[in-house]
Amino acid sequence: MKVKVSRKAHFNAAHRLYRKDWDDAKNNLVFGKCNNPNYHGHNYELVVSVTGEIDPETGFVIDMKILKDLIKSEIEDALDHKNLNVEVPEFKTLNPTAENIVIVIYNKLLPHIDSNKELEVVLYETPRNFVTYNG
């Protein structure tokens, strides 16, 4: 029997969506307000889920404390209160869209999850806009 275990987390971060190889008109057309040259912030909400068999000894799929600490060390410490474009190496050359951020988060967490378990990350950029990645 497989069970999906989920933990919510959150971080605040600033970003700007644009392409250097496009002029201002095209960047504004495609990225709108998210192309503000002075950056802008989002309150990102995160749901990290791990699916797997229940360990018969502990009754856990994954210890929630371990998952909590993992999200703190790998995601919150790396992204919270950061300017994603300027301060986070993964976005030096990658547009920090919700789609790209969720993949970066997934890739940071995956090496720490047992290979017999499945990882899924849901990232809310606003309460109404969210993206999902599970590899």
Q: Catalytic: 112?
A: no
Q: Catalytic: 74?
A: no
Which residue's CB comes closest to Ni ion? 34
Does 84 engage in binding with Ni ion (CB under 5 A)?
no
Size of residue set near Ni ion by CB under 5 A: 1
Q: Which is nearer to Ni ion, 51 or 95 (CB)?
A: 95
Tell me how far apart the alpha carbons of residues 97 and 60 are, in angstroms, rounded to a whole number.
34
Return the range that interacts with Ni ion (CB under 5 A); candidates 5-13, 34-42, 50-58, 78-86.
34-42
- For the stretch 91-97, contacts whose Cβ atoms lie closer than 8 Å and that sit 24 or more positions apart, written own/partner, are 91/15, 95/17, 95/18, 95/19, 96/15, 96/16, 96/17, 97/17
Q: Catalytic: 125?
A: yes
Bridge partners (DSSP) listed for residue 50: 5, 119
How would you classify the pairing of strands 2-15 and 118-124? unpaired
Task: Candidates 34, 75, 98, 101: give the one binding Ni ion (CB under 5 A).
Answer: 34
Active-site residue list:
34, 81, 125
Q: What residues line the site for Ni ion (CB under 5 A)?
A: 34
